[in-house]
Amino acid sequence: MFYTFPAKQKVNSSNGKWITLGPQGGRFEKGHFGPEISFARQLKTKGYQPAIFKFSKGATSLAKSWKRPGENGLTDKMIASYHKAMKALKEDGHTGVVRGFIWIQGESDSHGKSAVAYSKNLSALIKYVRNDLTNVPNLPVILGIDEQHKFVKKRP
């Protein structure tokens, strides 16, 4: 696993290295993790050797926080982290083949102008990831959302 969790006080990450999948530091005393754990376990049961690249920051908006490539948002930080991860994977003697993109987000974009623009913004991000970042035009994409989140419950 190669992960980055950008934060104002400090950047919590795997320090530019691929590490064994497990809890990530920074959020809670004993660490935290997300759906990548069960996802990776399922891939292992199917015979895959997954390398999980994770870039995440909660309570963000696709429109205001992530922005489009070149607009100095989290997308640009994710792109830089992705390139570091792929370089490190290669330096470790592995060949990385991107097999999918998982996007779990949306609660902060569930109201106002952000909600109206969400589909367009998400489509642009997916198009960029497929065509420019990974060069895999038919890259499978899994979308997830916290259906129990109060914003989503209020404005489905």
Q: 42 pLDDT exceeds 70? A: yes
Residue where the block lists tokens 């990548």: 36
- Tens of pLDDT, residue by residue over 134-151, are 999 999 999 987 666 676
Closest to 130 in 3D by CA, of 91, 95, 98: 98
Query: Are the C-beta atoms of residues 109 and 62 closer than 8 Å to each other?
Result: yes
pLDDT at 41 over 90: yes
* Mean pLDDT value of segment 17-22: 90
**115 burial class (0-12, 13-18, 19+ CB within 10 angstroms)?**
middle
Tens digit of each residue's pLDDT (9 = 90 or more) over 73-108 = 999 999 999 999 999 999 999 988 999 999 987 678
CATH number at residue 93: 3.40.50.1110
AA identity, residue 105 = Q
What domain count does the chain have?
A: 1
What is the arithmetic mean of pLDDT over 120-138? 96
Query: Is the pLDDT confidence value at 9 over 50?
Result: no
d(CA 52, CA 5): 14
Per DSSP, 16 falls in state: T
Q: What is the pLDDT of residue 11?
A: 53
Range of the domain at 17: 2-154
pLDDT at 27: 65
